[in-house]
Amino acid sequence: MRHQKKTVKLGRTAEHRKALLANQVCSLIEHQRIKTTLAKAKAVRPLAEKMVTLGKQGSLHARRTALSVLRQKDAVKKLFDEIAPRSANRNGGYTRIIKLGQRKSDAAPVAFLEWVDAAAVVEEAAPDGKSKKRKSGKGEPSEAKPPRKSKKSEPNE
């Protein structure tokens, strides 16, 4: 009987769902914080926390178990070397979901999924803007772009 064995199906077949969740966890490991729909964030969270538990065990067996789920060596390495050790004093609850309201296009509720023990990462739009500005400054057509620059730079300041 599958009493109380809850699976968030996300409208996908089992293999599609497993691949999606593994990819999401790998992205979370790489970027420390991901922005997805609330349903996906809630589905990813248990898997992400289970992977941290494996990371805290630290054994070769745990590493291979994590690799069999995530299928990305870089992500597993970072999980075991960075993310699991910094949550060593925490018994579960390694991730946090922050609701961000509804998406404009399809009104889907969107959320951030992030590590609780990560240093506070504010979504950094400024560095990208700066690099774009530098590139556009180096670019040849200078007449068309300066007004755009000023529009972009003012709201940031």
Partner 1 sequence: MGVPKRKTSKMRLRTRKASHRWQAPQLGKCPQCGSSVPPHTACPSCGYYKGRQVLTVEGA
List contacts with partner 1 (CB under 8 A): 98-101, 112, 120, 122-126, 155-156
Evaluate whether 84 touches 56 at the Cβ level (below 8 Å): yes
Comparing CB distances to partner 1, the nearer of 91 and 156 is 156
Phi, psi of 113 (to 5 degrees): -120, 125
CA of 79: how far to CAs of 6, 56, 72, 116, in Å?
Answer: 26, 9, 11, 14
Nearer to partner 1, 19 or 125 (CB): 125
| 14/122 with CB nearer partner 1 | 122
Please state the closest distance from residue 115 (CB atom) to partner 1, in A: 14
How many C-alpha atoms does 141 have within 13 Å on its Cβ side? 4
In whole angstroms, the minimum distance from the beta carbon of 59 to partner 1 comes to 36
Least Å distance between CB 6 and partner 1?
22
Scanning 13-145, the segments in alpha helix (DSSP H) are 14-31, 38-57, 60-70, 73-78, 84-86, 126-138
Q: Which is nearer to partner 1, 1 or 120 (CB)?
A: 120
Closest approach, Cβ 123 to partner 1, in A, equals 5
Q: In whole angstroms, how close is the CB of 31 to partner 1 at the nearest point?
A: 14
Please report which helix (H) or strand (E) contains residue 150, including its range.
helix 146-156
Of 58 and 101, nearer to partner 1 (C-beta) is 101
What is the C-alpha to C-alpha distance for residues 56 and 40, in angstroms, rounded to an integer?
Answer: 24
| Distance of alpha carbon 43 from alpha carbon 152, whole angstroms | 36
